[in-house]
Structure 1
Amino acid sequence: MKALVLAGGTGSRLRPFTHTRAKQLLPIANKPVVGYALQAVADAGIEEAGVVVGGHADDIRRALGDGSAFGVRITYLHQSRPLGLAHAVAIARDFLGDDDFLLYLGDNYLEEGVGGFVRRAAAGGDAARLLLTPVPDPTAFGVAEVDDTGLVRRLEEKPERPRSDLALIGVYAFSPAVHEAVRAIRPSGRGELEITHAVQWMIDQGLSVRAETTTRPWRDTGSVDDMLEANRHVLDRMEGRIDGKVDPHSVLVGRVRVAEGAVVRGSHIVGPVMIGAGTVVSNSVVGPYTAIAEDCRIEDSTIGYSVLLQGACVEGAPRIEQSLIGREAVVAAAPRLPSAHRLVIGDHSKVQLTS
């Protein structure tokens, strides 16, 4: 089995971050989101991965390399525009050949991985297998209607009146039969080749499409809130480790990871917290659930439940929470201005000023 990992979307909900980098490279616990997808692929025993890239292709190639750091061999596949998941399958046709494959959205975080899903798909003999999860608002997702035996009877994309609460979460296993389905469908109203239409075509042709459901933590990291929540899940499973320098005037509570080359001075760190190489934290309170990337500077500040990207600087901040701070960004206290009043007062007015 091969894997097809999608990393070409625009990430409009994560602007302005995605104006300058791929959303799949935004970090969860100081590791790119797409890195978790590739690690899950490797842990499932899949050795070859096609990575579909778009406008930020060079950045993704630099970050992922040949895939050896994740235990896979990567072939890069260029998608000129984000024209749908089924379009990504179409441009990967030569790479996929006649192999079964796992389709994995590269901005998804799935805590349990996909090893069990891949094994059951390989043993099941179905034309397709879908991974679903119950959600409180199915109208925002592709939704599957599943019978008592686990066979999928109908798929709908963001339905006004959902037939179930089971949402597609961006993990699919396909046999080569999907290629005929992709050729058979036409672009949707938004101009994309929808993978839900291809799967529905397979169902309509009498092919076996089976679903399984997970209730383990899953996040489509397409928004800041989802990024922070995924970061929290990963940090919850982290073990503490001190490889950098922590002075005797600092207090570390709980699971804190200080990378080699990082420095903590006169600070109070409440885990889980991850501090990247080259970062300096001084006279500050950090945590919990905070990931600080490489080469950042935190001084005279308090910050928690947040993610800081490489080179960010926070100085004199009284309290920052639930924030995503970009690369080389600077957050600093505003200068205090002398107290003064500027008035334009009409005739016969009366004004009272407090000191």
Structure 2
Amino acid sequence: MKALVLAGGAGTRLRPITHTRAKQLVPVANKPILFYGIESMVAAGITEIGVIVGDTRDEVMAGLGDGSQFGAEITYIPQDAPLGLAHCVLIAREFLGDDDFVMYLGDNLLEQDLAAFVSAFEAARSADQPPEAQILLKKVPDPHRFGIATLDADGHVVQLVEKPADPPSDLALVGVYLFTARIHDAVAAIEPSGRGELEITDAIQWLLDQGERVRCELLEGWWIDTGKLTPLLEANRLILERMERRIDGSVDEASSVEGRVVIAEGAEIVNSTVRGPVAIGAGARIVDSFVGPFSAIGANCVVERSEVEHSVLMDDSSVVDIARLEDSLIGSDASVRRSARKPRALRLMIGDHCQIDVE
């Protein structure tokens, strides 16, 4: 089995962070989102991985390399324009060949054990009526925002529709799919939707219309599309809660480190309190400060005389003399500090699409 990972989106909902960074490489618990998906593929025994790349291809390729750091072999497949998930399958035809494959959205995180999901599909393929596709579904409160599946009384998939104005169910398609080579016939047969895209829901519906079986599983755990600030911080919280305590950096005698905390090698905690779950990256310095639960402090960051909680600080950023910072995402090389200049004033240099909440 092969994997097709989609990493070509522009990330408009996470601007201005994604003006300078691929959305799939924004860190969660100090690790790029995309890395979690790649690692789950390898853990499931899938090492031949195709990655769809777009305008941010140089950064994605620099981050993933040839895949050897993950124990995988990565092939990059350029997509010149975002023409839909089914279009990704279409342009990956040569790489995929006739193999079964898992398709994974690179900005999604899910609790589901991918290895078990793959094993269930492989077991079903040996049955009398083998499926040509397998989808993962999750009940959602706002189904009009997703591809939606309708099941019959026996739990079989009978219909799929993309972002319906009047949803027929509340079962959304999670960003992971399994396909046989039959899907190539489907993506070649469908037409672009009203959005101008080749929809993967239309391709799967084509399989159903041809009498093919589409297997489904209901996701019991969490699933997060990290494309906006609030879900990204929620994903950071969930990942941090799963970490094991590890202290590789230095903590002085005047400091307190409580709970599930990871302090990377080279990081320094000086006269500060760190209360987990928290991840602190290599080379970071926390001085005369409090870092509270669900915070991820990136490599070489500086936090001085400040309080930070439920926030993500990306590499090389600094927070100085800030009484309280929470629910925040701070980009790389950014500086947040209280100035002593007179007259006292709020002085900002803010890029497009920023949001500033003033106390």
How far is the alpha carbon of 1:338 from its aligned partner?
5.5
Structure 2 distance, partners of 1:111, 1:306, is: 21
1:57/1:339 CA distance change after superposition, 3 Å: closer
1:141 maps onto 2:141 in alignment: no
The equivalent residue for 2:276 is 271
Q: Match for 2:22: what amino acid?
A: A
1:202 maps onto 2:203 in alignment: no
Q: Secondary structure at the match of 1:317?
A: coil
Q: Match for 2:33: what amino acid?
A: V
1:24 maps onto 2:24 in alignment: yes
TM-score (norm 2): 0.92
The equivalent residue for 1:212 is 217
Please list the CA deviations of residues 84-119 of structure 1 after superposition, one character each: whole Å capped at 9, or x if unmatched: 101110110000000010000010101233111111
1:240 maps to which of 237, 245, 248 = 245
How far is the alpha carbon of 1:335 from its aligned partner?
3.0
The equivalent residue for 2:354 is none
1:116 maps onto 2:121 in alignment: no
- Kindly indicate whether the alpha-carbon contact (under 8 Å) linking 2:274 and 2:291 is maintained by their aligned counterparts in 1: yes
- Kindly indicate whether the alpha-carbon contact (under 8 Å) linking 2:112 and 2:219 is maintained by their aligned counterparts in 1: no
The equivalent residue for 2:75 is 75
Pairing 1:201-350 to 2, within 5 Å after superposition: 201-335=206-340, 337=342
Q: Match for 2:94: what amino acid?
A: D
Please list the CA deviations of residues 274-306 of structure 1 after superposition, one character each: whole Å capped at 9, or x if unmatched: 100011110000011101110100000000001
Structure 1 distance, partners of 2:94, 2:118, is: 22
- Kindly indicate whether the alpha-carbon contact (under 8 Å) linking 1:280 and 1:296 is maintained by their aligned counterparts in 2: yes
How far is the alpha carbon of 1:334 from its aligned partner?
3.5
Which stretch shifts more, 329-338 or 258-267? 329-338
Q: Match for 1:108: what amino acid?
A: N
Q: Match for 1:233: what amino acid?
A: L
* Structure 1: 4+ residue segments shifted above 4 A: none
The equivalent residue for 1:345 is none
Q: Match for 2:115: what amino acid?
A: G
1:129 maps to which of 134, 139, 145 = 134
1:94 maps onto 2:94 in alignment: yes
Structure 1 distance, partners of 2:183, 2:31, is: 32
Which stretch shifts more, 146-155 or 25-34? 146-155
Which stretch shifts more, 156-165 or 308-317? 156-165
How far is the alpha carbon of 1:256 from its aligned partner?
1.2
Please report the RMSD computed on the Cα atoms of aligned residues, expressed in angstroms.
1.3
- Kindly indicate whether the alpha-carbon contact (under 8 Å) linking 1:305 and 1:322 is maintained by their aligned counterparts in 2: yes
Q: Match for 2:16: what amino acid?
A: P
- Kindly indicate whether the alpha-carbon contact (under 8 Å) linking 1:253 and 1:270 is maintained by their aligned counterparts in 2: yes
Structure 1 distance, partners of 2:69, 2:118, is: 21
Q: Match for 1:227: what amino acid?
A: L
How far is the alpha carbon of 1:149 from its aligned partner?
3.2
How far is the alpha carbon of 1:192 from its aligned partner?
0.9
Q: Match for 1:263: what amino acid?
A: E
How far is the alpha carbon of 1:67 from its aligned partner?
1.3
The equivalent residue for 1:44 is 44
1:323/1:339 CA distance change after superposition, 3 Å: closer
Which stretch shifts more, 327-336 or 310-319? 327-336
How far is the alpha carbon of 1:324 from its aligned partner?
0.5
Please list the CA deviations of residues 40-94 of structure 1 after superposition, one character each: whole Å capped at 9, or x if unmatched: 1111111211011111111111111111222221111111111110111011000
Structure 2 distance, partners of 1:334, 1:111, is: 43
How far is the alpha carbon of 1:148 from its aligned partner?
3.4
Structure 2 distance, partners of 1:292, 1:319, is: 15
The alignment-based identity, stated in percent, is: 54
Unaligned runs of 5+ in 2: 125-129, 346-359
Unaligned runs of 5+ in 1: 341-355
Pairing 1:160-199 to 2, within 5 Å after superposition: 160-199=165-204
The equivalent residue for 1:352 is none
Structure 2 distance, partners of 1:97, 1:295, is: 44
Structure 2 distance, partners of 1:98, 1:26, is: 33
Q: Match for 1:5: what amino acid?
A: V
- Kindly indicate whether the alpha-carbon contact (under 8 Å) linking 1:110 and 1:219 is maintained by their aligned counterparts in 2: yes
TM-score (norm 1): 0.93
Q: How many correspondences in the alignment?
A: 340
